[in-house]
Amino acid sequence: MREIPITEVVNLITAKMANGGVFLCVANGETKNVMTIGWGGVNTFFGAPCFLAPVRQSRYSYGIIRKNGAFTVGVPLHDMRKQLAFAGSESGRDVDKFVGHGITAASAQAVNVPIVKECELQLECEPQGYVEQKADMMIPEIRDRVYADGDMHTFFLGKIVRCYYTE
Ligand SMILES: Cc1cc2nc3c(=O)[nH]c(=O)nc-3n(C[C@H](O)[C@H](O)[C@H](O)COP(=O)(O)O)c2cc1C
């Protein structure tokens, strides 16, 4: 485990998010889940480095992260396209994504949410709050193209309290 300043890996994380995505882990008590995200990312809020995780309200993860706003972000530095596609298409409502698909839950250091063990780069985030996106606040082009079905994102904001390479 090696801590790394977030400023040194922002571009790497941004590139991974744009190319296959990263893993977002959420948990509330015994209930845990993982999904793939490609939007959002590292930013600064309230004087600290944060991660913004946009989760649509239809996701199983949404109900969990609304109850416990902490989350982790797993950034694979080897090829996990298959696992990212799986976590990004199947729902935790129907299947335990941590079982039998090469996505292993392991303990985080600072938050009560698992990390994806296979990922070489990890972010652990403490809840700062969330913002519900409203359709009528979006320009018509975005509203019609991205939210035609009304399945809005909520932006979950987490303060990055740990950033480290697992090996
Ligand atoms: C590359 C990729 C990026 C994605 N990005 C997001 C995202 O930023 N926000 C979101 O709500 N869903 C995103 N998804 C879709 C969710 O990962 C997908 O709906 C998933 O099955 C939700 O899982 P859950 O129902 O277990 O929460 C993405 C999927 C893929 C494959």
pLDDT (tens digit per residue) in 132-157: 999 999 999 999 999 999 999 999 99
Nearest to 55 by CA among 158, 164, 144: 158
Q: Which residue's CA lies nearest to atom 20 of ligand 1?
A: 88
Q: Is 80 exceeded by the pLDDT of residue 125?
A: yes
Q: Within the chain, how many helices (H) and strands (E) appear?
A: 4, 10
Mean of the per-residue pLDDT values of the chain: 97
Q: Superfamily assignment of 2-165 in CATH?
A: Electron Transport, Fmn-binding Protein; Chain A (2.30.110.10)
Instruction: Report the alpha-carbon distance of residue 20 to residue 120 in Å, rounded.
Output: 15
Find the 147 Cα to ligand 1 centroid distance in Å: 14
| pLDDT tens track for 58-75 | 999 999 999 999 999 999
Give me the residue spans of the domains in the chain: 2-165
Find the 4 Cα to ligand 1 centroid distance in Å: 27
Q: Specify the pLDDT at position 167.
A: 76
Residue type for position 23: F
Q: Which residue's CA lies nearest to atom 13 of ligand 1?
A: 37
CA dihedral of residues 76, 40, 128, 50 (deg, nearest 10): 60
Closest ligand 1 atom to Cα of 62: 27
Q: Which residue's CA lies nearest to atom 6 of ligand 1?
A: 37
Identify whether the C-beta of residue 159 lies closer than 8 Å to the C-beta of residue 128. yes
Q: Interior CA angle at 20 toward 124 and 36, to 5°?
A: 45
Q: Which residue's CA lies nearest to atom 9 of ligand 1?
A: 55
Ligand 1 residue neighbourhood (C-beta within 6 Å): 20-21, 33, 35-40, 54-56, 59-61, 85, 88-93
Q: Which residue's entry shows tokens 């969990």?
A: 64
Instruction: Report the alpha-carbon distance of residue 46 to residue 144 in Å, rounded.
Output: 32
| pLDDT tens track for 21-57 | 999 999 999 999 999 999 999 999 999 999 999 999 9
